[in-house]
Amino acid sequence: MTTPKFTQIKQFIFEQIESGKWAEHQRVPSENELAEQFDVSRMTARRALQELTDEGVLNRSKGSGTFVSSFKSQSSLLEIRNIADEVTAAGHTYSAKLVSIEKLAADAATAIELDIAIGNSVYFSKILHMQDEQPIQLEQRFVNAALVPEYINQDFSAITPHEYLSKEAPLTEATHQIEAVLSEAKISALLTIDSQQPCLQVKRRTWSSHGVVSLAILTSPGNKYRLGGHLKF
């Protein structure tokens, strides 16, 4: 399956910024210029520019054009931390248990999340993160196999997916969706909590300069885990 044209345009823009060829506040090519360069419709070029604007990578000014955002503004307000570091920093012992890992063909929902074609290969892992040998978080993660082909061969009792992906596909951006949920029976069993116990669930999509790398669904018992942050302005 070929990479969608609008994704190719996004990757091109990312590469120009990441390599330093385009400085912050520099004007980027217009919709018409990108459409001609990539032999696509103006609508396709517009989608690429709009998505990068929504993601904070670009700024669009009516009548003036589109510009590279301030690099400072591209930092996520919510710091992405490695759970192993969080646990050890709090004075506890961290460990992990690989529940399962497999290669799948992306269904429609997964393809949309990872911005790939239906049927493309994805890896799906379930990992139980432990604090003092007690389950504290279940991580379910879909990974774009084309971007991180060796993901399935890693020992995730020795390294967390976050650590591995940070090395193999350095993070350029992320989105978070945070909500309170009632645990499902299978998740409750893994977390050793009562069925229907309130949990904190974080859905996190991460990008590298080449596209969406993964979708992680992180579920933690509400009475064992909290989400916090320290913001500087």
Containing 211, the helix (H) or strand (E) segment is strand 211-221
CATH class of residue range 5-74? mainly alpha
Per-residue buried b or exposed e for 18-27, using 16+ beta carbons within 10 Å of the residue's own CB: eeeebeeeee
DSSP 59: E
**């989105």: which residue's tokens?**
175
**Domain 83-221 in CATH 1.10.150.530:** no
User: pLDDT over 70 for what percent of the chain?
Assistant: 90
Confidence category of residue 226, pLDDT binned at 50, 70, 90: low
3-class SS at 175? strand
* Separation CA 69–CA 56 (nearest Å): 7
Which pLDDT value is given to residue 77? 38
Residue 227 has pLDDT above 70, yes or no: no
Task: Give pTM, 2 decimals.
Answer: 0.65
Domain borders along the chain are 5-74, 83-221
Whether the domain at 5-74 and the domain at 83-221 fall into the same CATH topology: no
- Among the residue ranges 21-30, 45-54, 80-89, the one predicted with the least confidence is 80-89
Tell me the pairing of strands 134-144 and 58-61.
unpaired
Roughly what angle, to the nearest 10 degrees, separates helices 5-18 and 42-54?
50
Mean per-residue pLDDT of the chain: 85
Nearest to 66 by CA among 79, 87, 48: 48
